[in-house]
Every structure is written in C-alpha cells, then in structure tokens.
A and B are shown apart, each in its own frame.
Chain A
C-alpha cells in the first residue's frame, strides 16, 4: 500500500526544514495568534499574512496544491456552520432579493462574521500545514519535550505515530473486504470483527516493542542526543516573522 509521509517535505532540505523545531513551533504558533487577534475588518492585514505564507511555502519547497488540499477540508465546515450568519445577523443590509415571496437579506455584519471565521481558519491551517510538513515528526516531538509538554503525551504520540501506518494499511484492507458484502448488518459485524482482530495483533506487537525498549534500559524517560542547537538563522527567522506580523497587525484599513 502506498503511504504518504506526513512530514515528507521535511526531507527536502529547504531553509524552513532545516530550522530548529522549537523555533518553528513557537514562531508558527505566534503567527496563528496574530491571525486570530486581528480584527476581521482589516482585510489588508489578512492579505499580507497570506503573502507571507505564500513566501514561506515557496521557501519550504512545498507544492501549493498540498497546502490547498489541507485548506479544502476546512471549507465544508466553514460553509455548513457559518453560512447562516450573513442571512440571519441583523444589521446593515448590503444585498436583498426575493425568491417566491421570501425575502433574503444579507447583512454586512453577517458577512463579516463569516469572513472572520473563514479567513482565520484558512490562514491558521496553512501555518500548521507548513509547520507539520517541514518538520520530521520525531523532531516535532523532541521540540515539544523541550517546550515542556508532559512526557506521557510524548510517549503516547510516538507510539501512535509508529502504528498509524500499520493501522492505515489494515483499515484499507478491512474497507475493501467489508465493501464486498451487500447489506448493513453483516457489514458492521464484519467491520468490528476485523477491527478487533487487528487491534489485538497490533497491540501484541506493541507490547513486544515495549519489552524491547525496557530490555535496552528504558524506564520512562525519553532521552535524546541533544541534536538541536539554536543557530543564528533560527533567531533571525523568528525575529523577522514576528516583526513583520507586528507591523501588519498594526495596519488598519479595509472595511471598517
């Protein structure tokens, strides 16, 4: 089965993938905070944020299609949830029409609410997409340890990552096998049965891995060779981005 690796662009040796993971985590999280706290009316700010993200995508040598695909998953949610507000929120009307005796009004305030959700979700997701795809998952975890994430979470995450590919493979096989049947009841039974069998199989394998870890002296502490050292380019990256974002956020303008 073909696997795509979530962090596939972390191996492409771009400027971004070579940055210290801790710096990247902090910088991109800060970016998201800037986005969230920018007022919806400051349309130009969001445009500039978008420009920075496009530049980062280019520097990271990530195909735009990849980021686009990630954003696409947000759109259905945004539409299903926030689409009502332009119609329901009272305020300054900016459009009106009538379909078969029913009046539809779209208000500026409502559109602003929709825009607020939409643009912030899209930009934030892009930040995470760049971060996630340019950082090896193991490095992400190491970075999180340094940033004081609780150890048990790191351990569960690393075991989880190890087994996701295995589980993904098997799920595909289960889906195909189950799709071959025709009605609903046997589908659920077959699905649950195969899922359970495979769960036990993978679990027993994971038990052996844990035993092997203990046999090599593991006692619960995750230790690393401290490969990370903050280099001047890491600090430069963080400072430049934060400076740009601060400047952009201070811009007002757009539809007040």
Chain B
C-alpha cells in the first residue's frame, strides 16, 4: 500500500525551550486509520500540527509523496484536513455557509463547484439546516459537525483529528463514529478516548514525552495494560 504520511526523525522544540517531539518516525498507509494516544503533554497535538505544515520541525515529513516545504504548502493543506480540538477557533466567518465555503474559496475553484461541494459537506454532516446561522450561536455538537464540514468541503485525502470526541454527548459521539466508519479517507486520530480508537483504528501509536514509545495493531496495544498504565493511560472498557 502507498504511504501517504512518512515522518522521519521529527524533532521539534517550542520557542520557550520545551522539547515537544524527539526523533519521532512514523508511517501511515493510504486508507488506514491510525490512533495517536498518550498522556497530556505527550506531543500529540504538536505532531498533528506538523502534518499540514503549521509547525515546522527538524526531520523529514512527506505527505502523499510531497515533502512539506514552503513551495508545497498550498497543495499539502488541500490534501490534509485538520479538525482542531477547539471548535470555536475553527469557526470564524459570519455564517456556517461562509465558514464551510472558506476553504474551497482559497482553492480557487469555480463558483458552481464551491457551492456544490459546500452543500455536499453540509449534507454529509447534517448541518444544511444551519447554513445561515451565526457560528457562535450553535450548540457544541452542531459546532463540531460544522468544523468537520469546513474540512470535508476541501475534499482532502487525509483527515486529522485532535480529540474529536471530547465533550460530545453519547449520541453525537456515536454519530461521529458511524460517520467516520463510512468514509474512506486516511485518518489520523489523536485522542484519549480509547474506545473510540478501538472502534475506528486498525493501528495505534503511543506517544510519551515527545517520543514514539510503541506502535502496533490496535487490539494488541490496547490489551497491554502494563504499557498503557506506565504511560498514564487506562485500559479501554471494550477489551
């Protein structure tokens, strides 16, 4: 299978000196769903921000064969759709429609295509009825679905999620799981929700202190209680 994400020896230190990532190497194949787990401060969010070039560390990152550099940034950002943990930071336009159209507009698509893709994304995430609403008037669940729509409208190949199920009520969580099961995109999911990972991911990578501790097949990883506990996690209930 093609490798859509190749990370080789990624090291990143924040301006204030915090070593967020150290010599991390990881590969993700096309169509695969990989879970990134680890305690708070492990570097999960930092890693995710490297995948679309927001952060730039030392080491090599290739997305769909393209090395991430200034020249490729536009193409990379089309291919990688990042859904942030904080919904409010992703919704900044006057209406839901405008927010979902923001990405496609930046891709310079023709107007008819933009409207088509925006409508499609709204329908897929069941947010069409919200399209003229002010983003900060939405409920939390509606905001999260809208954030997903803003990313889907750009027709990315890879979807990256930072804590997708946090603060979602059981129904929304279930809907999200079902939705993600249906779509074929390559998925990278950073989360504490190990049940979520169990249902969606075939592989899991465990991070701690900026390093990749271990990666492997989901069930084997999540059954390894000793490993999980030694890195500040608890076993999933589903096992």
Contacts and interface: CB of A to CB of B under 8 A. Distances in A.
Given A208-B86, A211-B54, A225 B94 contact: no
Interface string B128-172: 000000000000000000000011001000000000000000000
Interface stretch (B1-9, B101-109, B195-203): B101-109
Interface in A193-237: 205, 208-209, 211-219, 223-226
Contacts of B102: 213, 216, 218
Contacts of A209: 89-90, 92
A138 B134 CA distance: 12
Contacts of A205: 88-89
Contacts of B74: 217, 219
Contact of B107 (A215, A217, A226): A217
B67 to A, nearest CB: 18
B89 A208 contact: yes
Given A208-B84, A225-B111, A217 B106 contact: yes
Interface residues of A, number: 19
Interface residues of B, number: 29
A162 interface: yes
Contact of B101 (A215, A218, A225): A225
A97 B49 CA distance: 78
A216 B84 contact: no
Contacts of B89: 205, 208-209, 211-212
Contacts of B114: 225
B109 to A, nearest CB: 10
B106 A216 contact: yes
Contacts of A162: 92
Given A215-B82, A216-B150, A217-B154, A223 B106 contact: yes
Interface of A: 136, 138, 162, 205, 208-209, 211-219, 223-226
Interface of B: 49, 52, 54, 74, 77-78, 82, 84, 86, 88-90, 92-94, 98, 101-103, 105-108, 111, 114-115, 150-151, 154
23 contacts: A136-B94, A138-B93, A138-B98, A162-B92, A205-B88, A208-B86, A209-B92, A212-B84, A213-B92, A214-B54, A214-B77, A215-B82, A216-B103, A216-B154, A217-B103, A217-B106, A218-B102, A223-B106, A224-B105, A225-B101, A225-B114, A225-B115, A226-B111
